[in-house]
């Protein structure tokens, strides 16, 4: 049974833990960074005025890591203020000269990113500093430390802390209140679509990489609200996205799909699904077990991909403008969920069959024209009266009647769900989980002579082997058509006359440009990569698996090739040599002891 000890820590000692990645966040129950600038500044003001602030609650693990249970927003606010991520209410910043440890850390980060979140043009003397940075570091915060706590105890404590407050939204309370395959599925696919999928736990210092920056805040968080599917199409406002309404929509959508019948769009209906031991929870969980999480994830992804394609084929920049011919500034999650269900039922008429109906490219614009203005032209109902099962079924059938004739039946292929969202997720994860996600600009040299670069391509083959030897249990990915160096992206933009798309600090440059430079079709270009793998010295079964798991996405007109590296159960080789990943680099092992050590990764599985 867990015991709780109370102790005080200075902000300086907390920063030491933060810098050493000893403060960690469990995404199973914790939300993202959501505080506004005003909330951050009020906390800093309290510390500067030496007012008491609420205690921090953590769970201590054997390796000395402290898992944050309560106080995530407060801790990150304090740490980011030290690193000059924002100013206090008097436009003052922390003086890094008073804290060399933080100064070096910030300098290293800004050197890598070539950016700074606080405007720092000119010399440092132009900045206005808080009165006493040393005193700020010496401020003591009460910390409650749970020792020997099980995961269930930690989650129970978190739920109880937030059960009666106003801090969490309804969906955040649901997700934190139950640990089930359904809640995990919703959490994971929501992160997938937002583009912030990561390990289940990650250091507090990495939270900005999976948090959403609103247009008016600009805290330097990795994900821009306007780039996320929900906000980009006007489905959810920034605040709604921050409050996890995307997860609420997905929970509703997933329950309607796997449960084989629609549920009312009400708080009570979702609460029942998230209530441990309830008949509705058991029904949905049992259905998900039969249906399969991967199957459901891929189908929902494909629905979102098709909706994206339909909007792109229209004259409207977002789904909001396509569905509403009259002004709507409030988002439309209820209408979107009905639309998504209609697309799903059209595309997958049989829940367990091997057939699906695809939307040919030539029909994308026709579907866009068919659903134009449906949200306010009387074809479907909206508002409170449209939340019942009967009214939702009426709306779903109305939309199916508009779009059904434009889809054509085919076999369900192996690359279901591969689209922009998956690629964006891979790019973002490559910054956090660099050994398992790799980005390559292409196969051509960037000099004056645009020829197939055999040396560079062979290094990519080495990388495939090294990734396979990570010994992880999940899939890993390598993208062709993404430049992680700004110099390469600038060179490509110049010589290939394209406009790279920035995602998470790197540039999608695509591969269509390489096919054009070689004067060959896209199909022939993709075959060059298949031939490169086929003719390589990669050992089996990895070689065959790479060929089976290569795919192409048109990604916003640029084109990206996706290689999935499946989990392996034994060492892989290239020409008899063993390669491994060290961070984001690939290395060849040169001694037997190292090879034996890597082999233990597979023996332990």
- For residue 413, the model assigns a pLDDT of 60
For residues 267-282, average pLDDT: 94
- For residue 177, the model assigns a pLDDT of 64
Residue 523: give its domain's CATH number: 3.30.950.30
Q: 470-525, pLDDT tens digit by residue? A: 988 788 999 999 998 999 999 999 999 999 998 878 999 999 999 999 999 999 99
Has residue 194 been placed in a domain?
Answer: no
For residues 287-293, average pLDDT: 92
Has residue 197 been placed in a domain?
Answer: no
For residue 89, what is the enclosing H or E element? Answer: none
User: Could you tell me if 384 and 459 lie in one domain?
Assistant: no
Query: Which residues lie closer than 8 Å to 542 by C-beta, 6 or more apart?
Result: 464, 465, 468, 565, 568, 572
Q: Which of 358, 379, 411 is the last residue of a domain?
A: 411
Alpha helix (H) residue ranges in 537-589: 542-548, 555-558
pLDDT of residue 117 exceeding 60: no
User: Could you tell me if 367 and 451 lie in one domain?
Assistant: no
Instruction: Characterize 526-543 residue by residue with b for buried, 16 or more Cβ atoms within 10 angstroms of its Cβ, and e for exposed.
Output: beebeebbeebebbeebb
Q: Which of 393, 411, 429 is the last residue of a domain?
A: 411
Give me the helix-helix angle, 72-82 and 37-48, nearest 10°.
80
Has residue 118 been placed in a domain?
Answer: no
Has residue 201 been placed in a domain?
Answer: no
The overall average pLDDT reported for the chain is 89
User: Could you tell me if 242 and 351 lie in one domain?
Assistant: yes
User: Could you tell me if 540 and 431 lie in one domain?
Assistant: yes
Q: How confident is the model at residue 172 (pLDDT cuts 50, 70, 90)?
A: confident
pLDDT of residue 5 exceeding 80: yes
User: Could you tell me if 293 and 383 lie in one domain?
Assistant: yes
Has residue 173 been placed in a domain?
Answer: no
Instruction: Characterize 234-266 residue by residue with b for buried, 16 or more Cβ atoms within 10 angstroms of its Cβ, and e for exposed.
Output: bbbbbebbbbbbbbbbbbbbbbbbbbeebbebe
Number of domains in the chain: 3
- For residue 580, the model assigns a pLDDT of 94
pLDDT of residue 44 exceeding 60: yes
Share of the chain above pLDDT 90, in %: 61
Q: 73-99, pLDDT tens digit by residue? A: 999 999 999 999 999 999 999 999 999
Q: How confident is the model at residue 105 (pLDDT cuts 50, 70, 90)?
A: very high
Q: How confident is the model at residue 166 (pLDDT cuts 50, 70, 90)?
A: very low
User: Could you tell me if 149 and 237 lie in one domain?
Assistant: no
Has residue 184 been placed in a domain?
Answer: no
User: Could you tell me if 317 and 232 lie in one domain?
Assistant: yes
Angle at 243 between CA 238 and CA 244, to 5 degrees: 100
For residue 438, what is the enclosing H or E element? Answer: strand 437-440
Rounded CA-CA distance 401/392 in Å is 14
Query: Which residues lie closer than 8 Å to 567 by C-beta, 6 or more apart?
Result: 472, 473, 474, 475
Q: How confident is the model at residue 239 (pLDDT cuts 50, 70, 90)?
A: confident
For residue 541, whether the previous peptide bond is cis, meaning omega lies within 30 degrees of 0, is yes
Query: Which residues lie closer than 8 Å to 316 by C-beta, 6 or more apart?
Result: 322, 368
CA-based nearest residue to 208, from 86, 97, 100: 86
Q: How confident is the model at residue 412 (pLDDT cuts 50, 70, 90)?
A: low
Pairing of strands 482-483, 506-508: antiparallel
On whether the CB atoms of residues 250 and 186 are closer than 8 A, the answer is yes
User: Could you tell me if 380 and 334 lie in one domain?
Assistant: yes
Has residue 192 been placed in a domain?
Answer: no
Share of the chain above pLDDT 70, in %: 94
Q: 294-325, pLDDT tens digit by residue? A: 889 989 998 998 999 999 899 998 999 999 98
Query: Which residues lie closer than 8 Å to 224 by C-beta, 6 or more apart?
Result: 212, 213
Q: How confident is the model at residue 232 (pLDDT cuts 50, 70, 90)?
A: very high
User: Could you tell me if 256 and 389 lie in one domain?
Assistant: yes
User: Could you tell me if 357 and 480 lie in one domain?
Assistant: no
On whether the CB atoms of residues 442 and 402 are closer than 8 A, the answer is no
CA distances from 453 to 442, 456, 460, 533 (A): 9, 5, 11, 14
Q: How confident is the model at residue 122 (pLDDT cuts 50, 70, 90)?
A: very low
Has residue 477 been placed in a domain?
Answer: yes
For residue 496, give its domain range: 420-601
Pairing of strands 201-203, 23-26: antiparallel
Look at 140-154, 251-265, 286-300 and tell me which has the smallest mean pLDDT. 140-154
Look at 62-66, 118-122, 161-165, 183-187 and tell me which has the smallest mean pLDDT. 118-122
- For residue 424, the model assigns a pLDDT of 84
Look at 45-54, 111-120, 285-294, 366-375 and tell me which has the smallest mean pLDDT. 111-120
- For residue 164, the model assigns a pLDDT of 55
Q: Which of 354, 377, 411 is the last residue of a domain?
A: 411
- For residue 124, the model assigns a pLDDT of 47
- For residue 526, the model assigns a pLDDT of 96
User: Could you tell me if 360 and 439 lie in one domain?
Assistant: no
User: Could you tell me if 466 and 338 lie in one domain?
Assistant: no
């Amino acid at each position: 049974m867990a015991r709780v000890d109370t102790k005080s820590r200075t902000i300086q000692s907390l920063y030491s833990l933060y810098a050493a990645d000893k403060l960690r966040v469990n995404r199973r129950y914790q939300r993202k960074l959501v505080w506004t600038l005003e909330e951050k500044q009020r906390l800093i003001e309290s510390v500067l005025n030496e007012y008491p602030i609420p205690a921090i609650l953590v769970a201590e693990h054997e390796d000395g890591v402290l898992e944050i249970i309560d106080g995530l927003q407060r801790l990150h606010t304090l740490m980011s203020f030290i690193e000059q991520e924002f100013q206090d209410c008097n436009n003052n910043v922390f003086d890094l000269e008073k804290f060399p440890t933080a100064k070096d850390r910030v300098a290293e980060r800004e050197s890598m990113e070539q950016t700074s979140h606080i405007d720092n043009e000119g010399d440092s003397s132009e900045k206005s500093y808080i009165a006493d940075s040393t005193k700020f570091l010496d401020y003591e915060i009460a910390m409650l430390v749970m020792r020997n706590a099980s995961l269930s105890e930690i989650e129970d404590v978190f739920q109880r802390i937030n059960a009666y407050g106003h801090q969490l939204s309804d969906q955040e309370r649901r997700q934190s209140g139950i640990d089930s395959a359904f809640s995990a599925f919703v959490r994971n696919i929501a992160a997938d679509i937002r583009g912030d999928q990561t390990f289940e736990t990650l250091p507090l210092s990495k939270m900005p990489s999976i948090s959403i920056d609103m247009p008016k805040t600009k805290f330097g968080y990795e994900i821009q609200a306007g780039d996320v599917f929900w906000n980009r199409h006007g489905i959810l406002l920034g605040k709604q996205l921050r409050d996890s309404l995307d997860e609420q929509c997905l929970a509703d959508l997933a329950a309607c799909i796997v449960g084989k019948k629609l549920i009312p769009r009400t708080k009570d209906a979702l609460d029942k699904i998230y209530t441990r031991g309830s008949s509705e929870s058991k029904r949905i969980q049992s259905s998900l077990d039969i249906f399969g999480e991967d199957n459901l994830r891929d189908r929902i992804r494909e629905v979102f991909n098709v909706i994206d394609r339909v909007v792109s084929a229209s004259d409207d920049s977002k789904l909001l403008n396509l569905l509403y011919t009259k002004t709507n500034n409030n988002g439309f999650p209820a209408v979107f969920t009905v639309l998504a269900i209609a697309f799903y039922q059209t595309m997958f008429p049989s829940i367990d069959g091997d057939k699906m109906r695809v939307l040919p490219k030539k029909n994308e614009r026709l579907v866009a024209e068919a659903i134009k203005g449906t949200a306010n032209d009387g074809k479907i109902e909206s508002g409170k009266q449209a939340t019942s099962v009967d009214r939702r079924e009426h709306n779903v059938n109305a939309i199916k009647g508009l779009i059904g004739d434009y889809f054509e039946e085919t076999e369900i292929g192996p690359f279901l769900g591969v689209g922009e969202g998956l690629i964006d997720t891979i790019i973002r994860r490559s910054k956090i989980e660099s050994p398992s996600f790799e980005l390559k600009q292409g196969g051509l040299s960037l000099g004056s002579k645009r020829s197939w670069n055999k040396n560079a391509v062979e290094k990519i083959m080495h990388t495939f082997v090294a990734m396979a030897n990570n010994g992880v249990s999940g899939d890993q990915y390598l993208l062709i058509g993404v430049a992680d160096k700004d110099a390469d992206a600038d060179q490509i933009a110049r010589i290939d006359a394209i406009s790279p798309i920035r995602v998470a600090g790197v540039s999608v440059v695509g591969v269509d440009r390489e096919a054009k430079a070689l004067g060959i079709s896209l199909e022939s270009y993709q075959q060059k990569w298949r031939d490169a793998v086929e003719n390589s010295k990669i050992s089996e079964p990895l070689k065959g698996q790479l060929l089976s798991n290569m795919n192409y996405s048109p990604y916003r007109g640029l084109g990206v090739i996706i290689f999935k590296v499946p989990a392996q159960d034994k060492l892989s080789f290239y020409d008899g040599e063993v390669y491994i990943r060290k961070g984001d680099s690939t290395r060849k092992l040169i001694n037997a002891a190292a090879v034996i050590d890597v082999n233990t990764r597979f023996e332990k599985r």
